[in-house]
Amino acid sequence: MAQTILNFKLQSTNEKLTPRTGVAIFGEYLKGINLESLCNTNLPLAKHPNGYTPFEFIYPLILMLHSGGRVLDDIKEIRLDTALSTLLKMDNIPTASAFTKYLHKHKTIGEDGIRKINKQFLKRFLKSIKSEELILDIDATFIEAHKNTAKWSYKNAPGYMPMVGHINGGYVIDVDFKEGNEAPASKNLEFIKQCQGQLPIGVKFDRFRADSASYQAAIFNHCDKENILFTVTAKKNKNVFDSIKDIKDDTWQFFSKREKVSEFTHTMQDTDNAFRMIVIKKDITPILPTMEEYISDEVMMQYQDEIYYCIATNDNDLSSEEIIKLHRQRGETSENKIKELKNGFNMSYLPTSNTQANAFYFAIGTLAYNLFLLFKQILDSNMQKHTVKTIRYKLYNIAGKVVSHAREITLKVNEQFKELLQNIRYRAYEESLQ
- State percent of the chain over pLDDT 90: 80
Distance CA(217)–CA(251), nearest Å, equals: 27
Q: Would you report the helix, strand and coil content of the chain in percent, each value rounded to 5?
A: 50, 15, 35
* Residue scoring higher pLDDT (308 or 297): 308
Which ranges of 162-273 does DSSP label H, i.e. alpha helix? 188-198, 217-225, 238-245
Rounded alpha-carbon distances, angstroms, from residue 277 to 231, 244, 266: 10, 10, 6
Distance CA(193)–CA(30), nearest Å, equals: 30
Are the CB atoms for 61 and 364 separated by under 8 Å?
Answer: yes
Q: Residue 303 — pLDDT band, cuts 50, 70, 90? A: low
Predicted local confidence at residue 195, as pLDDT: 97
Q: Which residues contact 305 (CB under 8 A, 6 or more apart)?
A: 236
Sheet holding 16-18, edge to edge: 16-18, 400-405, 408-412
Domain ranges of the chain: 16-101+353-432, 132-344
| 3-class secondary structure, 410 | strand
334 has a pLDDT exceeding 90: no
Closest by CA position to 33, among listed 328, 324, 432 = 432
| 3-class secondary structure, 166 | strand
- State percent of the chain over pLDDT 70: 94
Q: At what angle do helices 54-67 and 21-32 cross, to 10 degrees?
A: 140
Distance CA(318)–CA(427), nearest Å, equals: 39
Predicted local confidence at residue 169, as pLDDT: 77
Q: What is the mean pLDDT of residues 37-42?
A: 98
301 has a pLDDT exceeding 60: no
* Residue scoring higher pLDDT (294 or 132): 132
Predicted local confidence at residue 129, as pLDDT: 87
Interval 220-279: pLDDT, tens: 999 999 999 999 999 988 899 889 989 998 999 988 888 899 999 999 999 999 999 999
Rounded alpha-carbon distances, angstroms, from residue 55 to 77, 93, 171, 364: 18, 10, 22, 12
**Which CATH number does the domain 132-344 belong to among 3.90.350.10, 3.40.50.2300, 3.40.50.720, 3.30.530.20?**
3.90.350.10
Predicted local confidence at residue 295, as pLDDT: 59
Q: What is the mean pLDDT of residues 398-412?
A: 93
Closest by CA position to 165, among listed 204, 198, 125, 200 = 198
Mean pLDDT (the chain) is 92
Q: Which residues contact 192 (CB under 8 A, 6 or more apart)?
A: 136, 138, 165, 208, 219, 222
Interval 115-166: pLDDT, tens: 999 999 999 999 988 878 999 999 999 999 998 889 999 889 999 999 999 9
Closest by CA position to 349, among listed 93, 69, 98 = 69
Predicted local confidence at residue 428, as pLDDT: 97
305 has a pLDDT exceeding 90: no
Q: Which residues contact 88 (CB under 8 A, 6 or more apart)?
A: 24, 27, 28, 31, 63
The residue count of the chain comes to 434
300 has a pLDDT exceeding 60: no
Q: What is the mean pLDDT of residues 202-209?
A: 96
Are the CB atoms for 275 and 220 separated by under 8 Å?
Answer: yes
